[in-house]
């Protein structure tokens, strides 16, 4: 839903300044009907061509509804698509859960932030707060450029909370949210509480206070509306790149005044005004193209009218040919028709026609064209008095050049939300190049809500993907992340860096088949616990058996299993490979394994709990001053000591930390 609003807003704000024809709002609506909504952790299995593949969205942080996609084939091969995630908990969102995904066979992520380290959140918050306070106390306005529906929630929530705080001293100033759909965005945010952070949810459950029921934030949809908000004020306006929308308009208005402050919250794509300002913080002037949608006037208007009329006639003709009912002519055309009628004047016909009085749309014209035998004539008696002919003053009034004005006003009153909607007025787009002095302070404070370089590396090291594809990001950032991942041994397989339009062959040979485990086998196993799993060494032999149970009772199950099995061995039908234990005489033993990775600091706690003194000195853990444990670079643990009881005690405890099979 949020996405919907976002697209809608971008579309609208674009429309306000230029012609945008890639798609229309109707296309947006139509596309929405095709989208299936999923909840986090809801797996959906694909059908048909995608049989065997299931898709699960995981929370990604960054934005409300932000998703990391996990695509799993046959329950084993998992591909994780994670871009723009944020592992940090924010005010309105929980952090991402990427670190809980372990050992995916392929991770696709971005290197957008791979060469970028951000300041601590607290520091950034303080920066914002100081900037706002200083500007406002100096009676200047603050423009915060944000997106329409994603990150704006974080900022809006944060600022509203700040304003609520009595000590902040901000109560005296105004706070506004300005974009085309601000009302809707906030309404939606209110009904999406279950997608937000635990803290927000708790406040809602505990106090029934919807955190997006703003106390101080005023919602504005147009510049006139914003002008009613008293200065000095803080305005959250979209879009973040200052390329279109209200933020650009406000920037043009405010940047010349040294008292004002402009805060950019997002490093937008290169080439945009926002990025330009971030990269050149000391820039004094900026030349920008001021695009505006203006009403048609004079000759252009007449030309437009004529064309519209022709179109109208054409449409009417078409309709008449179809013989369809005339009632439902396009309502957007209504205004033009009625206007036309107004100009011609209200002539009454002396012949009764069926459609008399119907002034709607094409019908009027069609009828007029086809069935009137003659022009309607109305004879007016000229009256005279002592001063001469009695005139009607209206006849001598100058006709309003733009008769649609009135209608448009009506329109506005009816539809307060779409104040900017000037589609029904004939308009055109103009662009004027303008050079502006930037006197206002321009500051970039990162509120993008993405993990930075250090965290990305840490997260990758936690989920240890087998292979990695890096997308998006400057070549240097991608290279540095790629080499980091390869050199540190985080990614054992390949790291791909595809260019645009380049195919990457990331297929792996994965061998997999299913065997049934005989009960006698399972009961003979000695399981050792390691983390959440249990491990055991198995020596077994495969026998191909026809399983009667499966055939009789679970035909469906069997089919499924068969499909999986038959990938490996076509031809054999009801044969299920079954693993049975090897007779003990044939078991040839195996090298024992220690499974687990020991952290010395954890082990120290274990020792202390068992009444053994343990202390670190130069990376070596000394136990009761007689036994030393050290860990070398390769992760090998070395236990050293002289023959004593403590040595064996420590060794037993050490062994307990491992699953030994």
Partner 1 sequence: MATVSKRKADSQVPPEESDLLVIRPLGAGQEVGRSCVILEFKGKRIMMDCGIHPGLSGMDALPFVDLIEADEVDLLLVSHFHLDHCGALPWFLQKTTFKGRCFMTHATKAIYRWLLADYIKVSNIGTEQMLYSEADLEASMEKIETINFHEEKEVSGVRFWCYNAGHVLGAAMFMIEIAGVKVLYTGDFSRQEDRHLMAAEIPGVHPDVLIIESTYGTHIHEKREEREARFTGLVHDIPIYYASSLAKKCMAVYQTYVNAMNERIRRQIAISNPFVFKHISNLKSIDHFEDVGPCVVMASPGMMQSGLSRELFESWCTDPKNGVIIAGYCVEGTLAKHILSEPEEITTMTGQKLQLKMSVDYISFSAHTDYQQTSEFIRAMKPPHLILVHGEQNEMGRLKSAIIREYEDDVETNIEVHNPRNTQSVELYFRGEKTAKVMGSLAVDPPQQGHRLSGVLVKRNFSYHLLAPSDLSKYTDMVRSTVSQRLSLHYTGTLQLLHFFLNQLSGDVEAIDIQGKKALKVFRKILVIQGVDMVTLEWNASPVNDMYADAVVTVILKADSAGISTKVIPPIMKLDKMHFTECLMEMLADMFGDEAVSKIVKGDRLFVTVDGKSVSINLRNQEVKCEEDEVLQQMVTTAVTKLYNSLTPVKV
Contact positions with partner 1 (CB under 8 A) in 41-70: 41-43, 56
Task: Locate 234 and state its tokens.
Answer: 């803080």
Please report whether residue 647 would count as binding partner 1 according to CB under 8 A. yes
Q: Among 111-119, 128-136, 140-148, 648-656, which window interacts with partner 1 (CB under 8 A)?
A: 648-656
Please report whether residue 594 would count as binding partner 1 according to CB under 8 A. yes
Binding pattern for the stretch 553-572 against partner 1, x by CB under 8 A and - elsewhere = --------x------xx---
Place of tokens 């402009």: 262
Please report whether residue 32 would count as binding partner 1 according to CB under 8 A. no
Coil, helix or strand at residue 234: strand
Omega before 232 within 30 of 0, i.e. cis: yes
Distance of closest approach, residue 50 Cβ to partner 1, in angstroms: 16
Please report whether residue 278 would count as binding partner 1 according to CB under 8 A. no
SS (H, E, C) 179-201: CCCHHHHHHHHHCCHHHCCHHHH
Please report whether residue 184 would count as binding partner 1 according to CB under 8 A. yes
Please report whether residue 643 would count as binding partner 1 according to CB under 8 A. yes
Please report whether residue 309 would count as binding partner 1 according to CB under 8 A. no
Give the whole-angstrom CA distance, residue 450 versus residue 457: 13
Give the whole-angstrom CA distance, residue 430 versus residue 287: 16
Burial class (CB in 10 A: 0-12, 13-18, 19+), 516: middle
**Which residues sit opposite 70 in a β-bridge?**
56, 80
Residue 452's H or E segment, with its range, is: none
Please report whether residue 532 would count as binding partner 1 according to CB under 8 A. yes
Q: Among 23-31, 90-98, 290-298, 526-534, which window interacts with partner 1 (CB under 8 A)?
A: 526-534
What lies within 8 Å, CB to CB, of 335 at 6+ separation is 404, 407, 424
Among positions 115, 296, 429, 530, the unique one binding partner 1 when judged by CB under 8 A? 530
Q: Binders of partner 1 among 130-169, rule CB under 8 A?
A: none
Q: Strands (DSSP E) along 283-425, which ranges?
A: 285-295, 384-385, 388-389
Give the whole-angstrom CA distance, residue 28 versus residue 34: 10
Q: For residues 144 and 614, which CB has a smaller minimum distance to partner 1 in the complex?
A: 614
Give the whole-angstrom CA distance, residue 170 versus residue 401: 48
Distance of closest approach, residue 542 Cβ to partner 1, in angstroms: 4
Omega before 239 within 30 of 0, i.e. cis: yes
Among positions 510, 601, 613, 625, the unique one binding partner 1 when judged by CB under 8 A? 510
Please report whether residue 126 would count as binding partner 1 according to CB under 8 A. no
Phi, psi of 58 (to 5 degrees): -125, 150
Please report whether residue 458 would count as binding partner 1 according to CB under 8 A. no
Among positions 31, 119, 171, 542, the unique one binding partner 1 when judged by CB under 8 A? 542
Q: Binders of partner 1 among 366-405, rule CB under 8 A?
A: none
Please report whether residue 495 would count as binding partner 1 according to CB under 8 A. no
Distance of closest approach, residue 369 Cβ to partner 1, in angstroms: 40
DSSP symbol at 467: S
Please report whether residue 539 would count as binding partner 1 according to CB under 8 A. yes
Count of residues engaged in binding partner 1, rule: CB under 8 A: 91
Q: Among 26-34, 122-130, 189-197, 614-622, which window interacts with partner 1 (CB under 8 A)?
A: 189-197
Please report whether residue 642 would count as binding partner 1 according to CB under 8 A. yes
Q: In what order do the strands lie in the sheet with 495-496?
A: 44-45, 53-59, 67-73, 77-82, 106-110, 468-471, 495-496
Q: For residues 435 and 520, which CB has a smaller minimum distance to partner 1 in the complex?
A: 520
| Residue pair 103/465 in contact by the 8 Å Cβ criterion | yes
Give the whole-angstrom CA distance, residue 392 versus residue 382: 11
Please report whether residue 638 would count as binding partner 1 according to CB under 8 A. yes
Distance of closest approach, residue 240 Cβ to partner 1, in angstroms: 25
Strand 388-389 and strand 384-385: pairing?
Answer: antiparallel
Binding pattern for the stretch 606-635 against partner 1, x by CB under 8 A and - elsewhere = -----------------------------x
Among positions 531, 559, 560, 599, the unique one binding partner 1 when judged by CB under 8 A? 531
Q: Strands (DSSP E) along 228-324, which ranges?
A: 233-237, 261-264, 285-295
Q: Among 246-254, 312-320, 357-365, 533-541, which window interacts with partner 1 (CB under 8 A)?
A: 533-541
What lies within 8 Å, CB to CB, of 563 at 6+ separation is none
Distance of closest approach, residue 577 Cβ to partner 1, in angstroms: 4
Please report whether residue 28 would count as binding partner 1 according to CB under 8 A. no
Give the whole-angstrom CA distance, residue 110 versus residue 64: 19
Among positions 3, 582, 600, 606, the unique one binding partner 1 when judged by CB under 8 A? 582
Please report whether residue 289 would count as binding partner 1 according to CB under 8 A. no
Cα–Cα distance list, 374 to 277, 349, 363 (Å):
68, 10, 18
Distance of closest approach, residue 82 Cβ to partner 1, in angstroms: 18
Among positions 126, 194, 406, 437, the unique one binding partner 1 when judged by CB under 8 A? 194
Distance of closest approach, residue 466 Cβ to partner 1, in angstroms: 7
Among positions 49, 120, 208, 392, the unique one binding partner 1 when judged by CB under 8 A? 208
Among positions 55, 201, 223, 490, the unique one binding partner 1 when judged by CB under 8 A? 201
Give the whole-angstrom CA distance, residue 635 versus residue 241: 48
Q: Among 215-223, 340-348, 421-429, 518-526, which window interacts with partner 1 (CB under 8 A)?
A: 518-526
Binding pattern for the stretch 215-234 against partner 1, x by CB under 8 A and - elsewhere = --------------------
| Residue pair 181/9 in contact by the 8 Å Cβ criterion | yes
Please report whether residue 491 would count as binding partner 1 according to CB under 8 A. no
Give the whole-angstrom CA distance, residue 234 versus residue 82: 34
Coil, helix or strand at residue 250: helix
| Residue pair 435/69 in contact by the 8 Å Cβ criterion | no
SS (H, E, C) 74-133: CCCEEEEEECCCCCCCCCCCCCCCHHHCCCCCEEEEECCCCCCCCCCHHHHHHHHHHHHH
Among positions 544, 608, 625, 656, the unique one binding partner 1 when judged by CB under 8 A? 544
Q: Binders of partner 1 among 90-109, rule CB under 8 A?
A: 102-103
Q: Give the torsion sign (CA, 365, 367, 368, 369).
A: positive
Coil, helix or strand at residue 572: coil
Task: Locate 376 and state its tokens.
Answer: 């309607």
Please report whether residue 30 would count as binding partner 1 according to CB under 8 A. no
Q: For residues 3 and 579, which CB has a smaller minimum distance to partner 1 in the complex?
A: 579
Please report whether residue 543 would count as binding partner 1 according to CB under 8 A. yes
Among positions 3, 28, 38, 497, the unique one binding partner 1 when judged by CB under 8 A? 38
Q: Among 129-137, 161-169, 357-365, 643-651, which window interacts with partner 1 (CB under 8 A)?
A: 643-651
Binding pattern for the stretch 344-373 against partner 1, x by CB under 8 A and - elsewhere = ------------------------------
Please report whether residue 538 would count as binding partner 1 according to CB under 8 A. yes
Cα–Cα distance list, 63 to 79, 161, 485 (Å):
22, 19, 27
Q: For residues 280 and 492, which CB has a smaller minimum distance to partner 1 in the complex?
A: 492
């Amino acid at each position: 839903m949020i996405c919907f609003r976002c697209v809608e807003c971008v579309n609208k704000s674009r429309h306000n300044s230029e012609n945008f024809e890639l798609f229309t709002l109707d296309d947006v609506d139509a596309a929405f009907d095709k989208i299936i909504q999923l909840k986090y952790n809801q797996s959906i299995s694909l059908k048909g061509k995608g049989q065997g593949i299931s898709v699960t969205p995981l929370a990604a942080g960054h934005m409300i509804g932000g998703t990391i996609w996990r695509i799993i084939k046959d329950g084993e091969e998992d591909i994780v698509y994670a871009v723009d995630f944020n592992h940090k908990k924010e005010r309105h969102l929980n952090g991402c859960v990427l670190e809980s995904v372990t050992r995916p066979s392929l991770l696709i992520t971005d290197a957008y932030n791979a060469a970028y380290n951000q300041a601590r959140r607290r520091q950034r918050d303080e920066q914002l707060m100081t900037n706002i306070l200083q500007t406002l106390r100096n009676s200047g306005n603050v423009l915060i450029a944000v997106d329409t529906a994603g990150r704006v929630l974080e900022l809006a929530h944060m600022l509203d909370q700040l304003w609520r705080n009595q000590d902040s001293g901000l109560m005296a100033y105004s706070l506004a949210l300005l974009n085309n759909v601000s009302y809707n965005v906030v309404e939606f945010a209110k009904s999406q509480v279950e997608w937000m952070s635990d803290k927000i949810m708790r406040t809602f459950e505990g106090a029934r206070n919807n955190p997006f029921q703003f106390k101080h934030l005023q919602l504005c949809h147009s510049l006139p509306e914003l002008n009613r908000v008293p200065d000095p004020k803080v305005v959250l306006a979209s879009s973040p790149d200052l390329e279109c929308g209200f933020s650009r308009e406000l920037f043009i208005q405010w940047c010349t005044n040294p008292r004002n402050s402009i805060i950019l919250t997002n490093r937008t794509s290169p080439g945009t005004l926002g990025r330009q300002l971030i990269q050149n913080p000391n820039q004094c002037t900026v030349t920008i193209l001021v695009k505006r949608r203006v009403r048609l006037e004079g000759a252009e208007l007449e030309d437009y009218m004529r064309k519209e009329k022709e179109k109208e006639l054409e449409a009417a003709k078409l309709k008449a040919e179809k013989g369809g009912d005339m009632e439902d002519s396009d309502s957007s055309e209504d205004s033009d028709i009625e206007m036309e009628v107004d100009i011609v004047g209200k002539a009454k016909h002396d012949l009764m026609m069926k459609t008399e009085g119907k002034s709607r749309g094409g019908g009027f014209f069609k009828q007029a064209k086809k069935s009137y035998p003659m022009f309607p004539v109305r004879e007016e008696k000229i009256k005279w008095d002592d001063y001469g002919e009695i005139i009607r003053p209206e006849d001598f009034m100058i006709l309003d050049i733009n008769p649609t004005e009135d209608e448009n006003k009506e329109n506005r009153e009816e539809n307060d939300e779409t104040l900017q909607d000037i589609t029904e007025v004939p308009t055109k787009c103009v662009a004027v190049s303008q050079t502006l002095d930037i006197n206002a302070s321009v500051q970039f404070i990162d509120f993008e809500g993405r993990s930075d370089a250090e965290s990305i590396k840490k997260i990758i090291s936690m989920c240890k993907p087998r292979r990695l594809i890096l997308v998006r990001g400057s070549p240097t950032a991608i290279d540095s992340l790629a080499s980091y991942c390869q050199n540190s041994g985080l990614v054992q397989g390949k790291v791909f860096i595809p260019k645009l339009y380049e195919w990457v062959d990331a297929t792996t040979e994965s061998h997999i088949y299913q065997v049934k485990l005989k009960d006698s086998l399972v009961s003979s196993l000695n399981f050792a616990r390691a983390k959440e799993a249990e491990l055991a060494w198995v020596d077994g032999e495969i026998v191909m058996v026809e399983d009667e149970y499966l055939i009789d009772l679970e035909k469906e199950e069997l089919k499924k299993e068969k499909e999986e099995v038959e990938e490996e061995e076509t031809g054999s039908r009801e044969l299920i490979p079954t693993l049975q234990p090897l007779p003990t005489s044939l078991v040839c033993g195996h090298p024992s394994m220690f499974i687990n990775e020991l952290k010395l600091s954890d082990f120290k706690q274990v020792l202390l709990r068992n009444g053994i003194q343990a202390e670190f000195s130069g990376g070596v853990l000394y136990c009761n001053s007689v036994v030393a444990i050290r860990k070398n670079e390769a992760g090998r643990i070395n236990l050293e000591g002289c023959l004593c009881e403590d040595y064996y005690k420590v060794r037993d405890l050490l062994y307990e930390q491992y699953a030994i099979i």
